[in-house]
Amino acid sequence: MTEASIALPPQTPFSQRIKKSLFATPLDCLLTLICAFFFTYIIYLFVDWAFLSSIWRADDEPLCKEAGGACWSVIDARHRIIFFGLFPFEEHWRSTLACAVMIVTFIASCVPWFWTTMKLSALWIAGFATFYILMHGGLFGLSVITPERWGGLALTLFIFAAVSIIGMPLSIVLALGRRSKLPVIAKMFGLFIDFFRSLPLLTILFTAAVITPFVLPGWLQGDKLYRVIVGFAIFFAAYQAENIRAGLQAIPSGQDEAGLTLGLNYMQRVTRIQLPQAFRNSLPAVVNQFVITFKETSIVTIVGFFEILASGSAAFGTGQWTVHYIEVYVFIGAIYFVFVFSLSRYGAYLERKLRVGHG
């Protein structure tokens, strides 16, 4: 060890840095104070509304008007509709367990130990199978509940997971296909990607839900939910493929040549050399696409599915609750936030982890 590597670079103390960046001149002081006051006030208003002047229990709803704060009674009274949609009341425990299974599967697949094709496949097959048995039933004495009656959080998570799991491998195939050395193949994949990218998601979902039954033979149709998921996944893959292709494009050609001269075949070069580097290069965009997709799952309402946002609308849709839509939307917003924020933080963690050795 040299001395230079032991000695730390000189650091300005925190208080001095604050002083320099926020209170350097009288004008700076003034601006800082005004902003600080403004933000504190906004935060106070929110905390007051959400916690201090709010009403929590369903039975206390009549007090809401007077209290002036949030009326969380609506959540207390109607949270089951938000979480479970039209799922039969006595079977809500199944939907709860199914959500838990999905979340555990998500978290597990974020752990590097699972990052082999075998383990990931096994994990997701097990995850989906358990989810399906719980939600659909028909096995182990569980009553059958068809997908039209699935709803709420479980449906949102299911659609997101299925779209990601079908879409991700598809996007890799599309990205590699578009970079094929054979012009015919490259053109075909390019056309496919650009075609689906230039259609609105809504059109694709409508086509999948409403029009394909007229075109496809009966045995190929499957349930409406599955058709919608496949359509969604193709849309997702078309976008994700372009992100991954950008990542592949950024790899110097020497990397592949080094693989070639070591005798690695195409699959080995793709899986060991190209894709790991492509993912590192395109990680922010790839994560962003997942975030967008999570939020876009709410579009499936249009073709008649009660995912969490639609279930929320149903929750304040009757009688005394109609005035409390803000609370419901804030609540659903918080749920989205938990998932999307975790996803972004995980993305940031991955970026740090993959930067190892790249200075």
Shortest distance (Å) from residue 180 CB to other proteins? 16
Find the part of the chain contacting other proteins (CB under 8 A) among 80-88, 185-193, 272-280, 339-347: 272-280
258 near other proteins (CB under 8 A): yes
Nearer to other proteins, 240 or 281 (CB): 281
Q: Which of 2, 118, 265, 352 forms a contact with other proteins (CB under 8 A)?
A: 265
Phi then psi dihedrals of residue 55, to 5 deg: -115, 135
Which secondary structure element, helix H or strand E, spans residue 343, and what is its range?
helix 325-354
In angstroms, what CA-CA distances link 148 with 96, 101, 136, 156?
Answer: 17, 20, 10, 13
Shortest distance (Å) from residue 263 CB to other proteins? 4
356 near other proteins (CB under 8 A): yes
Q: Taking the CA of residue 42 as centre, how many other CA atoms within 13 Å lie in the half-sphere pointing to its CB?
A: 5
Enumerate residues 223-252 that contact other proteins by CB under 8 A: 252
CA 300: distance to chain centroid?
A: 15
Nearer to other proteins, 203 or 255 (CB): 255
User: What is the spatial distance between Cα 355 and Cα 254, in angstroms, rounded to a whole number?
Assistant: 20
* Six token digits for residue 167: 């879409």
Nearer to other proteins, 81 or 175 (CB): 175
352 near other proteins (CB under 8 A): no
272 near other proteins (CB under 8 A): yes
277 near other proteins (CB under 8 A): yes
Q: Which of 263, 319, 334, 352 forms a contact with other proteins (CB under 8 A)?
A: 263
**How big is the chain by its Cα radius of gyration, in Å?**
26
- DSSP designation for 56: -
Contact letters for other proteins, residues 84-123 (x by CB under 8 A)? ----------------------------------------
Q: Which of 10, 26, 141, 254 forms a contact with other proteins (CB under 8 A)?
A: 254
Residue 278 corresponds to which amino acid?
A
Shortest distance (Å) from residue 174 CB to other proteins? 23
Reading phi first (left if > 0) and then psi (alpha if -120 to 50, else beta), residue 152 is in: left
For residues 171 and 285, the answer to whether their CB atoms sit within 8 Å is: no
User: What is the spatial distance between Cα 38 and Cα 200, in angstroms, rounded to a whole number?
Assistant: 40
Nearer to other proteins, 352 or 358 (CB): 358
141 near other proteins (CB under 8 A): no
User: What is the spatial distance between Cα 44 and Cα 10, in angstroms, rounded to a whole number?
Assistant: 39
Shortest distance (Å) from residue 109 CB to other proteins? 20
**Cα–Cα nearest to 313, from 151, 111, 82:** 82
180 near other proteins (CB under 8 A): no
Q: Which residue is listed with tokens 């096995």?
A: 139
- Residues at the site binding other proteins, with contacts judged by CB under 8 A: 252, 254-255, 257-258, 260-265, 268, 272-273, 276-277, 280, 354, 356-359
